[in-house]
Amino acid sequence: MRVCRTAFLVLYSTVSFTKKTGSSLKDKPTLWITRKLSTATEHRASQNYRVILNPEDMLVTPDEIVAKSHEVDAILPCHSEVFSRDVVRLLGPRVRIIANHSVGVDHCDLDALSKRGIMVTNTPDVLSDATAEIAMLLLLGAARRAIEGDTMVRNSQWNSWSPSFMVGHQVTGKRLGIIGMGRVGQVMGKRAAGFDMEIHYHNRNRLDPETENGAIFHEDIDSLLRVSDFLSLHCPATEETRSMMDKRAFSLLPDHAIFINTARGALVDENALLDALTSGKIAAAGLDCFQTEPGGNTDFSRHRNVFMLPHIGSATFETRDAMGFRALDNLDAFFSGREPRDRVV
């Protein structure tokens, strides 16, 4: 086992549990917050827990996860910390709950954690608006060649104009296909409807008519792909959905479709997407997530019609506070003997 390189800070507080229950600091559960979260989240955490922080926001290695787990009762991680089967097997016996600061839990081996008796929670609902905003930004930016235009003006290369200059694809009135009509997908549908887009969707289950709000349901993905002038992914990464957007899937889209992914990079065969961009089958793409994160895929940089962001779908001040508070709500419920609202396993 390597020596941990991350400088962790133990934050002591005797405010809440001590005053309310008369318990001592030693009686407080020890909570490890693996990354630097919002100031409001870390302050609230200090009220009820003996908190170990990561003030330098260093990436935590699997070895460090294992080592630190022997000192804590609970872990509040982000998607950057991977709880693989091997890591879970070596976790310390004190760990009772992993309260994720994320909606997705594909970084957690849920089966292994369940067998260890470790509860897992996530933070749904609170990031839907922010992620849908980024999806619309990518959709509009990809359609209207935002990266090309910005680069041109920023580099003082804008020196001419003609009717054929920087012509892009109109959004208004086009058909938007959404795969995964959960919380984020539903918000995306509402935002896109504001641009008079015709909304089509595929989901495991059809929504009720009121929630559907005029969107057109497709029982199978193939029929959805065939009508999607724009396609936006909003489903989780599971064994069934990994690499779902492969060569065959891209071939079913209308010619010159525009592809948006703010869900998970694992949903996409990136080589297939690159081929579709090179051939012109896909007119443009807007990507906020990649198979390799951080870092992305430098091969996309060769395509001027790809609008890329570094997985910042939920990165607003309001949403970061809400995610942190939702994770703490789950922890507070667990240590108070109540069922956490967002229990996954």
* CATH number, position 248: 3.40.50.720
Distances (CA, A) of 53 to 8, 11, 29: 5, 7, 14
Residues whose CB falls within 8 Å of the CB of residue 151, separated by 6 or more in sequence, listed in order: 157, 304
Q: Are 102 and 251 members of one domain?
A: no
Cβ(230)–Cβ(257) below 8 Å: yes
Q: Are 258 and 246 members of one domain?
A: yes
CA 25, CA 318: separation in Å to the nearest integer?
A: 31
C-alpha closest to that of 119 among 102, 138, 100, 134? 100
Report strand pairing: 30-33 vs 50-53. Answer: parallel
Q: Are 116 and 174 members of one domain?
A: no
Q: Are 235 and 267 members of one domain?
A: yes
Per-residue pLDDT at 316: 98
59 within some domain: yes
342 within some domain: no
Q: Are 54 and 170 members of one domain?
A: no
158 within some domain: yes
Q: Are 171 and 201 members of one domain?
A: yes
Distances (CA, A) of 49 to 10, 109, 158, 162: 10, 26, 56, 63
**How many independent structural domains does the chain possess?**
2
Phi, psi of 283 (to 5 degrees): -75, -35
2 within some domain: no
Task: For residue 9, give the 3-state DSSP assignment.
Answer: strand
Per-residue pLDDT at 27: 83
| pTM, 2 dp | 0.90
Two structure tokens written together for 49: 């827990």
97 within some domain: yes
Q: Are 185 and 302 members of one domain?
A: yes
CA 32, CA 51: separation in Å to the nearest integer?
A: 6
Two structure tokens written together for 73: 């009762």
Q: Are 199 and 84 members of one domain?
A: no
Per-residue pLDDT at 6: 61
Task: For residue 177, give the 3-state DSSP assignment.
Answer: strand
Q: Which residues of the chain have pLDDT under 70?
A: 1-7, 10-26
C-alpha closest to that of 45 among 64, 60, 32, 26? 32
Per-residue pLDDT at 13: 41
**Cβ neighbourhood burial of 185 (10 Å; 0-12, 13-18, 19+):** buried
CA 106, CA 84: separation in Å to the nearest integer?
A: 10
Q: Are 136 and 110 members of one domain?
A: no
Q: Are 149 and 293 members of one domain?
A: yes
Per-residue pLDDT at 52: 98
343 within some domain: no
Per-residue pLDDT at 1: 40
Q: Are 165 and 57 members of one domain?
A: no
Cite the active site residues.
264, 293, 311
Q: Are 179 and 240 members of one domain?
A: yes
Per-residue pLDDT at 8: 73
Per-residue pLDDT at 25: 58
Which residue segment(s) compose the domain that 291 sits in?
Answer: 128-308
CA 123, CA 324: separation in Å to the nearest integer?
A: 8
Cβ(17)–Cβ(297) below 8 Å: no
275 within some domain: yes
313 within some domain: no
